[in-house]
Amino acid sequence: MEPIAHVAGRAIPFGRKNVDTDVIIPAHWLKTITREGLGKGAFEAVKKEPGNVFADPEYAGAPILIAGDNFGCGSSREHAAWALLDMGITCVIAPSFSDIFSGNAFKNGILTVALPQQAIDRLLEVAKTDPVDIDLETQTVTTRFQDRFAFEIDPFRKHCLLNGLDEVGLTMAQGETISAHEAKTRAELPFLARTPASVD
Amino acid sequence: MTTKPRTLYQKIWDAHVVDQRDDGTCLVYIDRHLVHEVTSPQAFEGLRAAGRTVRRPDLTLAVPDHNLPTTARKDAQGHVLPIADLESATQLAALRTNAPEFGIRYIDATDREQGIVHVVGPEQGFSLPGATIVCGDSHTACHGGVGALAFGIGTTEVEHVLATQTLLLKQSRTMEVRVEGKLGAGVTPKDVILHVIGVIGTAGGTGHVIEYRGNVFREMSVEGRLTVCNMSIEGGARAGLVAPDETTFAYLQGRPYAPAGADWDKAVAWWKSLATDEGATFDKSVAIRAEDIQPTVTWGTSPEDVSAIGGLVPAPEDFADASKRDAVKVSLEYMGLAPGTRLTEVEVQNVFIGSCTNSRIEDIRAAAQVLKGRHKAAGVKWAIVVPGSGLVKAQAEAEGLDKVIIEAGLEWREPGCSACLAMNPDKVPPGERCASTSNRNFTGRQGPGSRTHLMSPAMAAAAAVTGRLTDVRELVG
């Protein structure tokens, strides 16, 4: 995973509320067995709407997406995060995110920034003409018009994002702690600890 | 030791914490992992690339469902038929090789036990009360119907569970959805959950785990509870649960993966101890009167866009929130519906009875009860009934339900996710409407341009018969 400390550049002023993962990447794009190339299918239906922001050359290659409440609701498909990444988006700003999506985004090095609707409205305005700047270290979103919005982020997620840490590797280092838990479950709740497929 | 009163969720959580960090993030043990073909290839690829193995293949079960065509899988001579869509075939083949390579039991598309992961888990007794269950699919919440803490995960998390049998999680807030009273005739578990989502909204449960409480859920069958918990995610909650009770134990006993002998008695004793303690508190509570729930359908493109079947298509102005007004406007345009239209005047061209929400034997029975002695309307071009598993299919056939369905002019298919999501050949054509027992009415969900109305199996069967959205109580007294 690439470390991420700072995202700066143009932001796509999408603004829509309840953007579900079927909108981000429709199901027929999920038949891939790799993580790459999904940017083509991202927002497929929206891209067909006349005057949509994704077709506007102004925002070509923008690393930031600004959306409305409850971004990423719906299915657990991580393809939604991969599609955004493939489009070049490394930060999404919205008033709120679905739990599964924000987890998937984080695990792929996409920063999700939750800000109040008022701040979102202001950033949607700025984004039409100017870049937006997100600094993870100081947890702030700024613009060249002296806007400054602070955001919250889970300290562990921040640490992992800043250092590009892989969670699987981190957890595997705790193998002994996991084994101890398994032994305890085998003793106390044996019916959970094994299935007919277990050999012990 | 005195402990504070705890909820069902907190008890399951506490039993599974392997380690806790200072910031409250916990390493949580996962008891059961269901794997399907869509969200796993990249996870297996990740393991292979890093030279990692699956920590507990014995707690993992793989079954294909999303991509499978629901037409015959073998020809008359018993040869397995090829899958025409090359991408689907590639994804299915990847699971068929990945699972055995990593020592995981794989149920093939041609096996009797094959089905939708969320039907197979409980049916096999693989899903147990008090267990933590995950799957790379948001409808994993379904298994909360047996009292499991079950939730959907992304592919990186699938890889994490395969490698470590754990997940890094923060404890969720708790939410109580209490439904008390007496459900009216024709009101099914699907109507209950659609109504609940209408009340709480699609983000109402975000950050929470829902416990469904009250006599309505206590009196509900396990299959009904699975339907309710299945759609928790449509209310924003990652998981939903119903406390395990005698109904649950009777459902599970004797199933292939369920504990047996002394293990069974030990299990039941523990399961009984899981119920929310008297005096435990929830972060959020919603109370609904059962009498207020009518047979319910959706009219828009969000699962919260629900109305009693006797209602009208709303107007954007009916909503106080400005952004919801805009969303409703876009939604009605997409759905091709004019405000003020009676829902029972809306004609449907397609009917889909199936999906992890409503494809179990009780669902098939409910549909067949409405279809018996009737025939689908001339305006209904495509109507399919897709059992949730090969075992559901066999049971339905033993009861003669397949004949009732076929005689009514509907198709009786092979198990799979089918027309719930446009990943296999079962799709709703653009601009056409579908009375569907699935869980999502999102734009394009059943195929580009498709218009979905969510409802119960009995209501979908009624729509098949009349060719329009119909109050099932008019057909079945």
Q: Residue B240: helix, strand or coil by DSSP? A: strand
What residue ranges in B89-192 does DSSP mark as E strands?
105-106, 132-135, 149-152, 166-169, 173-180
Chain B residues inside the 8 Å CB shell of A18: 202-203, 302, 327
**Sign of the C-alpha dihedral, residues B75, B80, B85, B88?**
positive
Q: Is there a contact between B290 and B179 (Cβ–Cβ < 8 Å)?
A: yes
- Contact of B71 with chain A, judged by CB distance below 8 Å, is answered with no
pLDDT at A102 over 90: yes
- Structural contact between residues B208 and B174, judged by C-beta atoms closer than 8 angstroms: yes
Residue-level pLDDT at B250: 98
| pLDDT in the model for residue B176 | 98
- For residue B256, the chain A residues in CB contact (below 8 A) are 196
CA atoms in the 13 A half-sphere facing the CB of A13: 18
User: What residues 331-370 of chain B have any CB closer than 8 A to a CB of chain A?
Assistant: none
DSSP 8-state assignment for residue A45 = T
The correct answer on CATH 3.40.1060.10 for the domain covering B173-245+268-292 is yes
Q: State the residue for tokens 């999700």.
A: A112
Report the alpha-carbon distance of residue A19 to residue A126 in Å, rounded: 21
Q: Which of B442, B443, B446 is the best residue to mutate to test the A interface, defined by the most A CB atoms within 10 Å of its own CB?
A: B442
Residues 261-290 of B with CB under 8 A from A: 263-264, 266-267, 270
Chain A contact for B74, CB < 8 A?
no
CA–CA distance, B320 with B336 (Å, rounded to integer): 22
- Interface contact flag, A178 B166, Cβ < 8 Å: yes
Tokens of B141: 């919440």
CB contact under 8 A, B327 and A18: yes
CB-CB under 8 Å, B163 with A172: yes
Nearest CA distance, B101 vs chain A (angstrom):
16
In CATH terms, B296-474 corresponds, of 2.40.50.140, 3.40.50.300, 3.30.499.10, 3.40.50.970, to 3.30.499.10
For chain A, the domains span 6-152, 154-193
Q: Residue B477 pLDDT > 90, yes or no?
A: no
**Residue A187 clears pLDDT 80, i.e. is over it:** yes
Please check the confidence at residue B49 and state whether its pLDDT lies above 90: no
User: Cα–Cα distance between A59 and B17 in angstroms, integer?
Assistant: 45
Q: What is the CA radius of gyration of chain A?
A: 20
Distance, in Å, from the CA atom of B274 to the CA atom of B6, rounded to the nearest integer, reads 9
- The answer for B 29-58 residues in CB contact with A (under 8 A) is 29, 31-32, 38-39, 41-42, 45-46, 50, 52, 55, 57-58
H or E stretch covering B12: helix B8-16
Q: What pLDDT does A88 receive?
A: 96
Q: What is the pLDDT of residues B356-391, one digit of tens each?
A: 999 999 999 999 999 999 999 999 999 999 999 999
Measure CB to CB from residue B263 to each of A22, A177, A190 and give the nearest one.
Answer: A190
Residue A200 is predicted with a pLDDT of: 64
In chain B, how many H helices and how many E strands? 15, 19
pLDDT at residue B253, as a whole number: 98
Rounded average pLDDT over B160-187: 97
Task: Give yes or no for a contact between B150 and B127, defined as CB atoms under 8 angstroms apart.
Answer: yes
Inter-chain contact B236–A70, Cβ cutoff 8 Å? yes
- Contacts by residues A98-101 (CB-CB < 8 Å, ≥ 24 positions apart): A98/A70, A98/A71, A98/A72, A98/A73, A98/A74, A98/B203, A98/B206, A98/B236, A99/B206, A99/B207, A99/B236, A99/B238, A100/A72, A100/A76, A100/B138, A100/B152, A100/B153, A100/B154, A100/B238, A101/A21, A101/A71, A101/A72, A101/A73
- At residue A167 the predicted structure's pLDDT band, cuts being 50, 70 and 90, is confident
Question: B266 and A195: CB-CB below 8 Å?
Answer: no
The per-residue pLDDT for range B102-133, each reduced to its tens digit, is 999 999 999 999 999 999 999 999 999 999 99
pLDDT band at A1 (very low <50, low <70, confident <90, very high): confident
d(CA B170, CA A155): 12
Least confident piece of the model among A121-125, A163-167, B226-230: A163-167
Question: Could you tell me the CA-to-CA distances from A173 to A157, A189, B163 in Å, in that order?
Answer: 18, 25, 11
Can you tell me the distance from the alpha carbon of B454 to that of B435, in angstroms, rounded to the nearest whole number?
Answer: 6
CATH superfamily of B8-169: Aconitase, domain 3 (3.30.499.10)
- Report the candidate in B441, B151, B458 with the shortest Cα–Cα distance to residue B304: B441
Q: In what order do the strands lie in the sheet with A64-66?
A: A11-13, A64-66, A91-94, A111-114
Contact B156 A107 (CB under 8 A): yes
pLDDT at position B22, please?
84
pLDDT digits (tens, 9 = 90+) for B226-282: 999 999 999 999 999 999 999 999 999 999 999 999 999 999 999 999 999 999 999
The per-residue pLDDT for B113 is: 98
User: What digits encode the pLDDT tens for the residues B334-349?
Assistant: 999 999 999 999 999 9
ipTM: 0.93
% of chain B surpassing 90 pLDDT: 97
Q: Do A127 and A102 meet the contact criterion of CB atoms below 8 Å apart? A: no
Q: Tens digit of pLDDT for each residue in B288-331? A: 999 999 999 999 999 999 999 999 999 999 999 988 999 999 99
CB B313 within 8 A of CB B332: yes
Q: How do residues B436-450 score in pLDDT, each as one tens digit?
A: 999 999 999 999 999
Could you give the CA distance from residue A94 to residue B136 in angstroms, rounded to a whole number? 25
Here the tokens at position B62 are 């793989």
Nearest to B39 by CA among A87, A13, A32: A32
The residue in chain B having the minimum alpha-carbon distance to the alpha carbon of residue A200 is B58
CB-CB under 8 Å, A192 with B130: yes
Asked if A33's CB is within 8 angstroms of B45's CB, the reply is yes
Same CATH topology for B8-169 and B173-245+268-292?
Answer: no
Q: Which tokens hold the place of B26?
A: 């916990």
Confidence of residue B2 (pLDDT cuts 50, 70, 90): low
Query: Is the pLDDT assigned to residue B1 strictly greater than 70?
Result: no
Region for residue A181 given its phi and psi (left: phi exceeds 0; alpha: psi -120 to 50; beta: otherwise): alpha
- Rounded to the nearest integer, the mean pLDDT of chain B is 97
Percentage of residues in chain A having pLDDT higher than 70 = 100
CATH 3.20.19.10 fits A6-152, yes or no: yes
Domain boundaries, chain B: 8-169, 173-245+268-292, 296-474
How far apart, in whole angstroms, are the C-alpha atoms of residue B377 and residue B473? 18
What gap in Å lies between CA B227 and CA B234, rounded to an integer? 12
Give pLDDT, residue B290. Answer: 98
Contact (CB<8Å) B55/A191: no
Sequence-ordered strand ranges (E) for B96-163: 105-106, 132-135, 149-152
Q: Which of B36, B202, B9, B205 is nearest to B134 (CA)?
A: B36
Q: Do A76 and B153 touch (CB under 8 A)?
A: yes
pLDDT tens per residue, range A27-65: 889 989 998 899 999 999 999 999 999 999 999 999 999
> A197 contacts in B (CB within 8 Å)?
57-58, 105
Is the per-residue pLDDT at B426 higher than 60? yes
Question: Cβ of A33 and B91 within 8 Å?
Answer: yes
Distance from CA of A17 to the nearest CA of B (A): 7
Q: Which of A171, A172, A185, A200 to mutate to test the interface with B (most CBs of B within 10 A)?
A: A171
Whether residue B443 and residue A23 make contact (CB cut-off 8 A), yes or no, is yes
pLDDT category, B3, cuts 50, 70, 90?
confident
